[in-house]
Amino acid sequence: MHPHVHTVYAFLDLVGTFAFAVSGAVAARQKRLDLFGVVSVAFTVACGGGILRDVCIGATPPVGLSDWRYLAVSLAASALAIIAYPQVRRLRQPVLFFDAIGLGLFAVSGAEKSLVYGQSVELAIILGTVSAVGGGVMRDVLLSRVPAILEKDIYALAALLGAAVQVGFIYAGWIDWWTPWFATAVCVLVRLASLYFGWRLPVFGDDARR
């Protein structure tokens, strides 16, 4: 892989870490957690999915624990959420906004890293999705909420689509600086469009008809 392209993927991973950390820190602030709670949730959201991915592909110790930049980015995002919380709150549903950005970035970088470690196409797409949704699931569990991927929102499906587009680009030989950004944009736009237009997956059972 060209060094420039590798740098793009590393940058994607760190930007995704920041976006997820902001979403976690804002959610923790909304739950009125203390300083330790805000930082802990931010780091868990930012690095939880990546740690799961790295353990699955044998990239140990996980980069989220071995690379100081991930902790530094999480701390910076926590500081932003604490210091500039009134400004961040002006964004419409800020947790969902930053979560959508992190979702796309992690789906793409997770799929690419899985391929680098010799995983199959199917596993790369699955682990890209795990990278994207793992931190959000941990956040929702910590904050006593039903995880988004278990509800009817289009969440994991958007991550799956972004990871699949990225893997498709790689196998087609279309590896350039723009390909990860395009795949990320597909995931983010599908997620945000589902929120804006109210797209939902089918729900089954008596409650779904009420």
49 in a structural domain: yes
Q: In the structure encoding, which two tokens stand for residue 96, read together?
A: 């969902």
210 in a structural domain: no
Q: Which H helix or E strand runs over 118?
A: none
pLDDT tens figures, 106-144: 899 899 889 989 999 999 999 999 999 998 889 888 988
207 in a structural domain: no
* Mean pLDDT over the full length of the chain: 85
161 in a structural domain: yes
pLDDT of 2 reads: 47
Contact indicator for 18, 76 with CB cutoff of 8 Å:
yes
198 in a structural domain: yes
> pTM of the predicted model, to two decimals?
0.80
* Domain of residue 38, residue span: 3-202
Domain count, the chain: 1
Task: Name the H helices within the chain.
Answer: 3-30, 35-57, 63-66, 68-83, 85-89, 94-116, 121-142, 156-172, 179-197
pLDDT over 90 (residue 175): no
55 in a structural domain: yes
Contact indicator for 22, 115 with CB cutoff of 8 Å:
no
